[in-house]
């Protein structure tokens, strides 16, 4: 499969005109597009009053749109060349030259030893539940943990962390994360009207995510956990390009339809060269009030999928009435205590997932050279 000119034009129609209304296709800013065997070239023409900074910003938006399209359709983008021309067709230099293979945006200055993305191929699999409990589990072991609600379109951390009574604070131009449940958390859900949908195109979601990362006073962290939107859209791509990720955790329920979408999410991260730290099978089974286990979705499907794809399996998390109630009440720490978690099964399952995740984090950091083993002789 390859990208067509029409595919690219449709993707570019989502990029707004930076110096006027409409998009860059309808505004005739896109002058020329060609695509062949993974090689894409685009020529743009801006009004004479546009500045180099405006052209540079537009170039980055165009690159993001095309790379997101390529990932979404499973195409390897060999080369992407973006240039600006004047009314006579002569090249106009931008602040940064056309994107070439291997070019990388400037990385964020986030100070965290480990950065863990929690993603899913589809919504409704409990991705946010897993992200919250992973973060709380790591914090309970003494780590300094940040939790970012990167699910721009459906932020759920205000409910799951009990942030409703807290106001978002800004100090000296920086967002102040909320200290709850032993970790630092921030969510776009605390900065917008909770009753209004966020109808944002890709570049707007990209900008919001970047600000949550770069304009928050996180301080020094042992681990940053990022709850991503479901699917394979613009925010995961932005995150992979702007952060030095340790790896990704993929959340999946046991049934086949969820596995199919989880495979796509895994392939996306692999194409972005982000290591898969492991798969979590969420809602693996239901625990009734009598303690009996019910395999509603068919236990073990996500584990078999992880084995087929040769990626680590972190464990299975069941569901019971207490887990649901704790999520709705914003009391995730209750999931780690048998007396408030409906028995031993939930705390035991969460501890196993966090145990396995810590091992994979250590292995990933050694492979990337972030942390080297030391030998102490006494």
SS3 76: coil
- Place 95 in a pLDDT band, splitting at 50, 70 and 90: very low
| Mean pLDDT of the region 132-155 | 91
- Place 366 in a pLDDT band, splitting at 50, 70 and 90: confident
Alpha-carbon gap, residue 146 to 143, rounded angstroms? 10
SS3 320: coil
Pick the CATH number of 5-92 from 3.30.300.130, 3.40.640.10, 3.40.50.1980, 3.30.470.20: 3.30.300.130
353: Cα separation from own chain's centroid? 19
Give me the residue spans of the domains in the chain: 5-92, 115-249+263-270+319-367
Alpha-carbon gap, residue 324 to 137, rounded angstroms? 17
Q: What is the pLDDT of residue 278?
A: 96
Alpha-carbon gap, residue 235 to 11, rounded angstroms? 15
Do the two domains 5-92 and 115-249+263-270+319-367 of this chain adopt the same fold?
Answer: no
Lowest mean pLDDT segment, chosen from 7-16, 137-146, 360-369: 360-369
294: Cα separation from own chain's centroid? 32
| Mean pLDDT of the region 76-103 | 61
Asked if residue 78 lies in contact with residue 102, where contact means CB atoms within 8 angstroms, the answer is no
Q: Output the DSSP codes for 185-246.
A: EEEGGGTS-TTS-----HHHHHHHHHHHHHTB---SEEEEEEEPPSSSSHHHHHHHHHS---
Asked if residue 68 lies in contact with residue 202, where contact means CB atoms within 8 angstroms, the answer is yes
pLDDT single digits (tens) 316-359: 999 999 999 999 999 999 999 999 999 999 999 999 999 999 99
Q: Which residues of 223-237 are buried (b: 16+ CB within 10 A; e: fewer)?
A: bbbbbbbbbbbbbbb
CATH number of 115-249+263-270+319-367: 3.40.50.300
Alpha-carbon gap, residue 188 to 134, rounded angstroms? 20
> If we measure between CA atoms, which residue out of 352, 329, 290, 294 comes closest to residue 130?
352
Q: What is the pLDDT of residue 28?
A: 87
Asked if residue 317 lies in contact with residue 134, where contact means CB atoms within 8 angstroms, the answer is no
Asked if residue 67 lies in contact with residue 80, where contact means CB atoms within 8 angstroms, the answer is yes
166 CB contacts (<8 Å, ≥6 apart)?
178, 180, 190
Q: What is the pLDDT of residue 56?
A: 84
Q: Which residue has the higher pLDDT, 103 or 4?
A: 4
| pLDDT for 250 beyond 60 | yes
Lowest mean pLDDT segment, chosen from 42-46, 65-69, 72-76, 201-205: 201-205
pTM of whole model > 0.85?
Answer: no
Asked if residue 361 lies in contact with residue 277, where contact means CB atoms within 8 angstroms, the answer is yes
| pLDDT for 296 beyond 80 | yes
Q: What is the pLDDT of residue 88?
A: 53
Cβ atoms < 10 Å from Cβ of 80: 21
| pLDDT for 93 beyond 60 | no
Mean pLDDT value across the chain: 83
Asked if residue 310 lies in contact with residue 320, where contact means CB atoms within 8 angstroms, the answer is no
Q: Output the DSSP codes for 235-298.
A: HHHHHHHHS---EEEEEE-SSHHHHHHHHHHHHHHHHTT--EEEEEEEEEEEE-TTS-EE-SS-
């Amino acid at each position: 499969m390859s990208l067509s000119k029409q595919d690219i034009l449709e993707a570019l129609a989502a990029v707004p005109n930076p110096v006027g209304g409409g998009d860059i296709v309808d505004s005739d800013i896109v002058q020329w597009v060609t695509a062949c065997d993974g090689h894409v070239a685009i020529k743009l023409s801006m009004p004479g009053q546009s500045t180099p900074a405006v052209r540079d910003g537009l170039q980055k938006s165009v690159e993001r749109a095309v790379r997101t399209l390529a990932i979404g359709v499973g195409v390897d983008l060999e080369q992407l060349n973006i240039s600006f021309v004047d009314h006579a067709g002569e090249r106009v230099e931008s602040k940064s030259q056309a994107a070439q293979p291997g070019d990388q945006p400037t990385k964020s200055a986030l100070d965290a030893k480990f950065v863990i993305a929690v993603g899913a191929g589809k919504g409704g699999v409990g991705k946010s539940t897993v992200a919250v409990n992973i973060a709380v589990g790591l914090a309970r072991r003494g780590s300094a943990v940040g939790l970012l609600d990167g699910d721009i379109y459906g932020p759920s951390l205000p409910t799951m962390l009990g942030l409703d009574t807290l106001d978002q604070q800004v100090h000296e131009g920086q967002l102040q994360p909320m200290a709850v449940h032993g970790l630092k958390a921030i969510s776009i859900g605390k900065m917008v009207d909770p009753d209004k949908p966020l109808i944002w195109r890709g570049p707007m979601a990209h900008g919001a995510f970047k600000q949550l990362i770069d304009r928050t006073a996180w301080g020094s962290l042992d681990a940053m956990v990022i709850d991503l939107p479901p699917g394979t859209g613009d925010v995961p791509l932005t995150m992979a390009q702007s952060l030095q990720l340790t790896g990704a955790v993929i959340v999946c329920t046991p049934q086949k339809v969820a596995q199919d979408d989880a495979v796509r999410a895994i392939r996306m991260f692999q194409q972005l060269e982000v290591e898969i730290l492991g798969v979590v099978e969420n809602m693996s089974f239901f625990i009734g009030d009598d303690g009996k286990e019910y395999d509603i979705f068919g236990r073990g499907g996500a584990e078999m999928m992880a084995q087929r794809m040769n990626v680590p399996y972190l464990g299975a998390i069941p569901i019971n009435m207490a887990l649901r109630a704790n999520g709705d009440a914003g009391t995730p720490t209750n999931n780690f205590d048998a007396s408030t978690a409906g028995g031993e099964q939930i705390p035991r399952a969460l501890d196993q997932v966090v145990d396995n995740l810590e091992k994979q984090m250590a292995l990933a950091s050694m492979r990337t050279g972030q942390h080297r083993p030391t030998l102490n002789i006494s």
